Amino acid sequence: MHELSGFGAWESFYVIVGSSAAALTGLQFVVMALVAESNRAGRKETIAAFGSPTIVHFCSALLVSAICTTPWPSLASAGRATGLAGLGGLVYVAIVYRRARRQSDYQPVFEDWLWHTMLPAIAYVALLVSGAVLTGAFGSATFFVGAAALLLVFVGIHNAWDTVVYVAIDQRAAAESPAGPVTNLPAKEPETPKSESVST
């Protein structure tokens, strides 16, 4: 039955992609722990714009892997499920873009827009279009589905690493600041006012 879906030859590929996405999801929990312990823990809006999407992209890659290893009765059925995943991803990217524009903790540069909105949008568009054109015959659209799933994993890895680097640099800059860390200095003994001094 699974061979009828057209993804039979891709089973090993999606096992690798899906298991990698599931394992790398744990990496983002470590990243969020580092952010929480940093001197500049981001606000909820900033984390929603730059942290949460990484989890969503990993989960999307896992979802696509599950879809493409499911014993569908036809390739068209797998295509509809893939297309819905792509459509949902596009809607989410639009939400992420809006959140990134509204948050005020960090000013995104071109690389941030590329990895947090543009490349994920390309991946989800590929899923949407490929899902729409998949038919009962084995077609080249399955290659675009695989490429999109792999791109989502790479996007998640990059964004997680980028967050770790940002936190590490921010911590180092704070440590090397001329002001230095705030310490509890010993209190000075009060000086005796000159008016109260007794001369002999």
pLDDT tens digits, residue range 46-98? Answer: 888 888 899 999 999 999 999 999 888 888 888 899 999 999 999 999 999 99
pLDDT tens digits, residue range 11-35? Answer: 899 999 999 999 898 877 877 777 7
Bigger pLDDT: 4 vs 42: 42
The helix/strand/coil state of 200 is coil
- Inter-residue contact 102 to 50 (CB < 8 Å): no
- The CA-atom distances, in angstroms, between 32 and each of 27, 71, 72, 164 are 9, 36, 37, 9
Bigger pLDDT: 15 vs 181: 15
φ, ψ for residue 197, nearest 5 deg: -70, 140
Bigger pLDDT: 32 vs 193: 32
Burial class (CB in 10 A: 0-12, 13-18, 19+), 196: exposed
